[in-house]
Amino acid sequence: MNWESNVRKVVPYVPGEQPSASARLIKLNTNENPYPPAPGVEEILKEYDISLLRKYPDATCSPLVNVLAEKYNVKPSQVFVGVGSDDVLAMAFLTFFNSEKSILFPDITYSFYDVWAELFKIPYKQIPLDEEFRIRPEDYKAENGGVVIANPNAPTGVFMGLDGIRQILDANRDVVCIVDEAYVDFGAESTLSLLDEYDNLLVIQTFSKSRSMAGLRIGFAIGSETMIKYLNDVKYSYNSYTMTSLTLALGVEAVKDDEYFRNTCEKIVKTREKLKEDLKELGFEFQDSKTNFIFAKHESVPAEHIFTELRKRNIYVRYWNKPRISDYLRITVGTDEECDILVRNLKEIVK
């Protein structure tokens, strides 16, 4: 016996590579937004009164909670914010999944879910997606301790309509169902519209993708007042000051500029649709994506080869050598120029 037998041992989540900022490359591997945050964010940053950093931030995060409540037409008491949606998701797992029964999520989905389940010792079961990478709502009718669905799903990009979500919510009235909407702003439909009907629904979103703020770390959850109260109880039992005062100020500004937000998302959707056509022409196959990435497989050239060749040319995409998805590459939608360079290089690699 030594101290190591008492360690909480975990196999951590592996994030996509973040090469140094000075490296000249086309980075399409972590679903970041290619455009800068809203112009107002830069203004606030430049004018920020540094003496405010002397004080603790507002533990309730009320400025950010209030603008989000207004934007999504809910009460401030229905909004919870955290250090990226990873923090919000982790808090939600810790708060709501305390059953002896397994929580359910797809076998191919955000690879942090099983890591949190392991970390918090939550039993879980991974439900296979069908051959077309679709979630079958009927698979979630088994007894369980909670449900987690990324919608649109990652890394597949596949969106499930609200009919399917509704079926899952209806079958699971007595457990919490989390819908992770990290990519919802790129043309999918939000489950937020079902909030009034389901008190077991928690919707989680992030500023990292559609608001170009992955580096600032802001995520949020919207649910019933009771749910949000329980989340806050856990947060205040763990770390009261999760969000810095600077983060709160910059986050507020990002939400205020709705026009910039909508324009940026529209640009990405347009580039994505063009990239779909180009990839198809090159012999790639993929399910339709409603996100800022495309999960594609080539008809003849192995994904690992394409991944390695792209890397040599300083173009980064994401590849997982995992069962069922080892033929696929996840390609983030960049600017038009970045996607053109990608397509030019792919043409040489797969010809």
Ligand X SMILES: *Cc1c(COP(=O)(O)O)cnc(C)c1O
Residue 148 binds to ligand X (criterion: CB under 6 A): no
Contact code string over 1-40 relative to ligand X, x by CB under 6 A: ------------------------------x---------
* Among residues 180, 185, 253, 338, the one that binds ligand X under rule CB under 6 A: 180
Residue 185 binds to ligand X (criterion: CB under 6 A): no
Least separation in angstroms between residue 207's CB and ligand X is: 7
Residues 229-288 that bind ligand X (CB under 6 A): none
* Angle made by CA atoms 135, 267, 259, in degrees to the nearest 5: 100
* Among residues 156, 208, 212, 242, the one that binds ligand X under rule CB under 6 A: 208
Residue 85 binds to ligand X (criterion: CB under 6 A): yes
> Applying CB under 6 A, which part among 18-26, 81-89, 167-175, 274-282 lies near ligand X?
81-89
Residue among 218 and 349 whose Cβ is closer to ligand X: 218
Least separation in angstroms between residue 128's CB and ligand X is: 18
Least separation in angstroms between residue 349's CB and ligand X is: 26
* Among residues 94, 129, 154, 329, the one that binds ligand X under rule CB under 6 A: 154
Residue among 217 and 298 whose Cβ is closer to ligand X: 217
Least separation in angstroms between residue 245's CB and ligand X is: 19
Residue 219 binds to ligand X (criterion: CB under 6 A): yes
* Among residues 80, 96, 110, 140, the one that binds ligand X under rule CB under 6 A: 110
Question: Do 330 and 317 touch, CB atoms closer than 8 A?
Answer: yes
> Applying CB under 6 A, which part among 2-10, 32-40, 82-90, 136-144 lies near ligand X?
82-90
Residue among 83 and 306 whose Cβ is closer to ligand X: 83
Chain residues in the site for ligand X (CB under 6 A): 31, 84-86, 110, 150, 154, 180, 182, 206, 208, 214, 219
